[in-house]
Structure 1
Amino acid sequence: MTAFIGFAMLFIIMYLLMRNKMMPIVIFVTIPVVAALALGNSFAEIGEMVNGGLGSVWKTAVLFIFSTSYFGIMNDAGMFDPIVDGLIKYAKGNVILITVASAIVAVLGHLDGATATTVLVTIPAMMPLYKRMKLSPYTLLLIVGCSMGVMNLVPWGGPIVRVASVMEMDVTELWHMLLPFQGACLAAVMVIAVICGVIEKKKGAGQFSAEEIQEMAETKMDDAAAALKRPKLFLFNIMLTLILIICLCLSVMPTHVCFMIAFGIGITVNYPGLKEQQARFKAHASESLNMSATLLAAAVFIGVMQNSGMLDAMVEVLLAVIPHAMGRYMNLIAGFVSVPVGAVLGADTFYYGVFPLLGEAGAAFGVPQLDVGVAMLVGKNVGMIVSPLQPTTYLACGLAGVEVAAHLRKNFGKAWLISIALCVIALLMGVMHIY
């Protein structure tokens, strides 16, 4: 019964999110509470579950508010204008160069292994260019997600550390096994970026009619927007942003604290007056608070799922329904289902909860635990950007200015397909095996 209620809750939430039937805030707050009550939990117990979920996301909620506001005032001040103009001049309208550049920036931005840093570096830098060239923001999210997934295989990345710790294996040794595959995946990401660019170009990105070109040439910035520009502070804003990124990469302070301080400095220097500061904050507060509220509401779902016993029961049911004859393909099954299963379980639960169970089940059929772990690493990583349990998903969507539900509808299937393709590459390279 516990597993049934868990699956029912999951299905209803995913259906409502995908169909855009209600606000995500309402969905995440109400459905899990009803499910928890159906399991016989008291309101006090549900409160403890929710507190547990909130404990894992409140810092990211604060990060949403100040990171969105920071990049908002930098955009108001015109920091991105010379960068976008320069990229447009260099790319000369070549959409494929822009999508490949997005992948390169995301790969470099993820060298520290932190997903929040990657989206905070890549999306604000590329979105103005995407808007100018009529590129879809969902394409940028997909490219960033693939880039982060491949770079997450570095030895300081969260997923590989989790798998190595479960197996009590040296993480560097595991990385050395995956290093040739990671190189092939980096090449695959660039190919994916090229394909995305070709598709976007066919949809009309980077192509302007004579009327549109004339209109852009004649269009003048309205007085209100022009009054916000701070061209004399361009170098200061660039330096402040670079220092911020360095602090993020070196983990000088918690990410949300870095943005709080940078926001305070940035808004004070660019808009020193009280009324100006209030106006700038209010201009960006709606978007940032909406995404923060959605994440805090998602904490209800996370807390109930992880602390009510639903998750364990659901995993047991999944293991029970696997046919005995399929046991020797446990690693292949794990790789194939990693995106959908990982999307609804979260990274810690996926690697610390599901991996040991699948690893033991695979061992019973002669499949080494290492093979199952590698398959789960290969399969899941590119799917983290389409997980409603990942705070980074909400952060990325907020920075790109899109709804999470729309992002899931457009990119979930693509991410899953790419994941399967990477599993095939892993098989061909001998990283995954058939027993």
Structure 2
Amino acid sequence: MLSLIGFAMIAIMMYVLLKGKASPLILFIGLPAIGGLLAGFSPSQIGEFAMAGIEKTSGNAVLFIFSITYFGVMNDVGMFDVLIDKLVKKAGNSVVAITVVTAIIGILGHLDGSAASTVLITVPAMLPIYKKLNIRPNVLLLIVASAMGVMNLLPWGGPTVRTAVVLGMDANILWKTLIPIQIIGVITTIGLAIILGLRESKRGAGISSDSKDVAMSQVAATVDEKVAALKRPNLAWFNILLTTIVIGILVVDAIPATLVFMLALCAALVVNFKTVKEQEGRIKAHAASALLVSATMLASGVFVGVLNDSGMLTAMSEAVLGLIPASAGPLIHLIMGVFALPLGMILGTDAYFYGLLPLVIKVAETYGITAINVALTMIIGKNVALLISPLVPPTFLALGLADIDIKEHIKFCFGWLYAISLIMLVCGVIFGIIAI
């Protein structure tokens, strides 16, 4: 009975999320409450399960509030604008240089963990140059997709935080385990940019001599006056230094990540905005996205808590065990790692991490495979699938800006991104991060 209710909850969640019929927040709260009652648990018991789950997610939810706001402010003040302008000017009319610069901008632009802002930073800035140099816009979106997928492993990235919630651990600790794999991903992304640049050169790209000046003027003309008023080019050195210090502290784990972003946000607001009205204006500007993500994170604690503490997950794993061949059991984490990209692309973020991941972890434990080992294999491919998933709104934002059809986009990008996810997975095994 418990297993049937558990499977029904996950199936309903996946279906409704795929159809876009309800907010994840509603599903994460409503489904476990109904499922718990159907399973025969009292409201007080369900409340205990839910609070146990919320307790595990609260730390990461607070981290999200301050990290999203901090990087939102950094985006407002144009932290990397000067650096990006110099990179574009340095690249000139070299096709390979332009594609490599695209990768670097995508990597830097996704420091905030926001897919939408990365798309808005990268695509409008680079698309005019691509058009003038006769480089296919598909190449631009592929490089951005790879950069975002790799950088989304950061501790304030959605998939990493969701995985940490399921594991009941600090997102920063999980990220430190992933750092070597992320470095490989960054190197692979730049390598991909070089390969694509060479391929485009062979196709005849790079024929325009005035592309750089025209493209830069087009980009400058599209800058909104209100957006421009928030820029602080004279403080770029401070903002870059502050962000570098933040990342450095996170790497050495000297101070809790949440406190790091609290202090950094205070410093960023005080230095970049002199009046209380301006400071509060920046907080309000990013409050909606920070609150929605964090509220969803807390709500997911209800779902995970009821699923775990009610015994549903155990019953479900026992049912699945009977379907898995004995020879495949010890390799289930690697099998899931191989298929992580297509699964993540089809299921979407919440269904993948809160529905599929806990079940695989529970099944894998029977074969002596640790939860973190399963999580490491499954997070890599899902991250790389970020900008080719039809369930991710920024995918359509990018497609709209580049005027590309989604089928064409997936067909062009899928093979390359799948290869990158497999390279990162193999390197994780070689480095001993992922145990066989």
Residue aligning to 2:406: none
In structure 1, distance between residues paired with 2:395 and 2:257: 19
| Offset at residue 320 of structure 1 (A) | 0.9
Unaligned runs of 5+ in 2: 128-136, 154-162, 164-176, 345-351, 387-391, 399-409
Q: 1:298 to 1:415 in 2, by over 3 A?
A: farther
Correspondence for 1:133 among 110, 115, 126: 126
Residue aligning to 2:228: 226
In structure 2, distance between residues paired with 1:387 and 1:220: 30
Question: In structure 2, what residue type is equivalent to 1:61?
Answer: A
Question: In structure 2, what residue type is equivalent to 1:32?
Answer: P
In structure 1, distance between residues paired with 2:200 and 2:43: 50
| Offset at residue 14 of structure 1 (A) | 1.3
In structure 1, distance between residues paired with 2:183 and 2:290: 36
Residue aligning to 2:100: 97
| Offset at residue 312 of structure 1 (A) | 0.7
| Offset at residue 381 of structure 1 (A) | 4.4
Residue aligning to 1:165: none
Residue aligning to 1:48: 48
In structure 2, distance between residues paired with 1:4 and 1:399: 35
Q: 1:333 to 1:264 in 2, by over 3 A?
A: closer
| Offset at residue 344 of structure 1 (A) | 4.3
Q: Structure 1 length as normaliser, TM-score? A: 0.64
Number of paired residues?
362
SS in 2 for 1:78: coil
Residue aligning to 2:238: 236
Post-superposition Cα deviations, 1:100-126, rounded to whole Å, max 9, x if no partner, equal 5479879xxxxxxxxxxx954897788
Residue aligning to 1:154: none
SS in 1 for 2:6: helix
In structure 2, distance between residues paired with 1:120 and 1:281: 15
Residue aligning to 2:335: 336
Q: 1:188 to 1:246 in 2, by over 3 A?
A: closer
In structure 2, distance between residues paired with 1:78 and 1:184: 28
Kept in 1, the 8 Å contact 2:68–2:286? The answer is yes
Kept in 1, the 8 Å contact 2:330–2:364? The answer is no
Q: Please, which moves more after superposition, 70-79 or 216-225?
A: 216-225
Aligned: 1:385 with 2:388: no
| Offset at residue 64 of structure 1 (A) | 1.8
Percent identical: 30
Mapping for residues 360-375 of structure 1, pairs under 5 Å: none
Q: Please, which moves more after superposition, 193-202 or 17-26?
A: 193-202
Residue aligning to 2:58: 58
| Offset at residue 311 of structure 1 (A) | 0.9
Question: In structure 2, what residue type is equivalent to 1:380?
Answer: M
Kept in 2, the 8 Å contact 1:52–1:303? The answer is yes
| Offset at residue 87 of structure 1 (A) | 3.0
| Offset at residue 357 of structure 1 (A) | 0.7
Q: Structure 2 length as normaliser, TM-score? A: 0.64
In structure 1, distance between residues paired with 2:183 and 2:62: 35
Question: In structure 2, what residue type is equivalent to 1:62?
Answer: V
Q: Please, which moves more after superposition, 138-147 or 20-29?
A: 138-147
SS in 1 for 2:367: helix
Residue aligning to 1:255: 257
Residue aligning to 1:303: 305
Residue aligning to 1:21: 21
Residue aligning to 2:276: 274
Q: 1:200 to 1:78 in 2, by over 3 A?
A: farther
RMSD across aligned positions (CA): 5.2
| Offset at residue 304 of structure 1 (A) | 1.4
